[in-house]
Every structure is written in C-alpha cells, then in structure tokens.
Amino acid sequence: MSEAPHLLIEAQGATLVCTLNRPDKLNALTGQTMALLEDALHKFRDTEALKVMLIRATGRYFCSGADLRDNSDGAPQIDRTGVAIREKHRLKLHGMHRIYDEMEHIEKPIVVAHQGTCVGGGLELSLSCDFRLAAKSASYSFPEGKFGVLPASNGVSRLTRYVGPHWARYLIMANKPADAERALLMGLVHEVYSDETFDADVMAFCEHLAGNNGEQMGMAKLAIELCHELGRDQARHIERLGNSTLMLNPDYLAGIEKYISMIGSKGKSKGE
C-alpha cells in the first residue's frame, strides 16, 4: 500500500490550504514535502483567484523538524570542511533556503497555523510565513542546541528579527522551550486561539485577509521588509514610493472619489 502524500493541497475559496500529512512521523519534513510545498507556492503565486496561503498540519505535532532518515537529497554524509557545510545549507536541504526565499518574496500573505508542537525545521519554515497563529496547546523549541549546532535555515536570522536578541538567546543559547502564551509575549506568534475553536478561528483569519486589498497587502509586505532594513529617512522614501503606486490604483481612485463626494454632500446638506 502506497504512502499518503506528505502534503495535502486544497483550495478553500480564496485560500490555498497546504496540510502537513505525516502524523505518524510527527510531520517531519522530507524531500517530498518540500517539493510539494514549492509546487503549491508557484500555484499560489500564479493564480489570481488565490489570495491567501495557509500551512497547517494533522496530528499532535505541527512539525518535528527535518526527517533525518530521508535520503532523497543524496546519501547521508558527514562534511569535513566549513565550505562544504555552508554550501550544503545554501544549496541542498531539499531546497529549503530557495523555498523560504520564495515564501518571503511572494506579494501575497502566507499564514501558518500551529495546532501542536512546532520545533526545529518546522519552526524555521514558519518564520518565513507572514502570520503565525497558535493553538493554546502549541509549543516551540530549537533542539539543534542539544547537538551543539545552530538552527541555520532561518532559525537565527529570522527569529532574531522577530523576537530580538533577548528572546533569541532564550530559545537558542539556553535551549529552552516556549509555550503558546510565552510565544505570544515574545512576538513569535500573532494570535493564540483555544484548541476547541482553533480551526474555525484560523479560517476566519484567512477569510479576513482574503477580503483585504491585494495590491495594498503586496506593497505592504515589500515596504515593511525594506523599512526594517533602512534608516528612518530612507524608510519614509519607501512609504512615499509605495503610495505613489497605490494611489493610482483605479480601485483606490474610485473609492476616494466616492468618499469625497459623500463628505461633500453631507457638508452641503448641513449648510443648507
């Protein structure tokens, strides 16, 4: 009997839902998982009707990290030079770095929903999403420290951008776990929902995003990243550049003209 796909992909309205589907393996990431995720990303990017992408999971774990028994990326070996290790991180690991870059560059919102434990590579994948939602029973950790190494596929770089060095030290140096409430305090997740209503709350959040203006969200995704990197004066240039495009959008022009007309009509009525 053939194994079920490692990632299930289904459109629910304007949301493309991608579900990690190896509950018996704690949803450990494989080459198949990453290949299917990359295909889903391209479909999401290129399909105008799809407004939001949701990554979720089945089972008691969201993801236990990379499946170390999966050899689809080549036979396992211990690299003996620093260059080989750095190039392996950059070019192999089932294309994780390339895929995470694409997640960050797509000008549409990507949401990840943690119904349970999220560790290692699963947390690194989540850090490339725009919104992270947690169930009350979710928890987070980086077990790489137990082996004397770093989480080096977003685990230091993205984590530190989101939670700052203070909490990054807690998760990476101290190698301490965080429950959902502490993750919310850190700024690691945006919302914590009850376990009982989690699925419905997540879909409601995605539907809310799907109803927002797509051009504005795409521009905001780019502008926020750029403004984080730049000084205050240059960041203000980004704001102005963004609005110089958005304020020429026919939807904006029609909406603002209608609003101004409505305000003018009310003022005239009061004056009379």
Report pLDDT digits (tens) over 204-259. 999 999 999 999 999 999 999 999 999 999 999 999 999 999 999 898 899 899 99
- The domains located in the chain, with CATH, are 7-210 (3.90.226.10), 214-271 (no CATH)
Q: What is the DSSP string of the chain?
A: -PPPPSEEEEEETTEEEEEE--GGGTT-B-HHHHHHHHHHHHHHHH-TT--EEEEEE-SSEEE--B-TT--TTS------SHHHHHHHHHH-GGGHHHHHHHHHHSSS-EEEEESSEEETHHHHHHTTSSEEEEETT-EEE-GGGGGT---TTTTTHHHHHHHHHHHHIIIIIS---EEHHHHHHHTS-SEEE-TTTHHHHHHHHHHHHHTS-HHHHHHHHHHHHHHHHS-HHHHHHHHHHHHHHHTT-HHHHHHHHHHHHHHHHHHHHHH-
167-197 tens-digit pLDDT: 999 999 999 999 999 999 999 999 999 999 9
Does the pTM surpass 0.75? The reply is yes
31-85 tens-digit pLDDT: 999 999 999 999 999 999 999 999 999 999 999 998 878 777 665 677 788 888 7
Q: What pLDDT is attached to residue 80?
A: 82
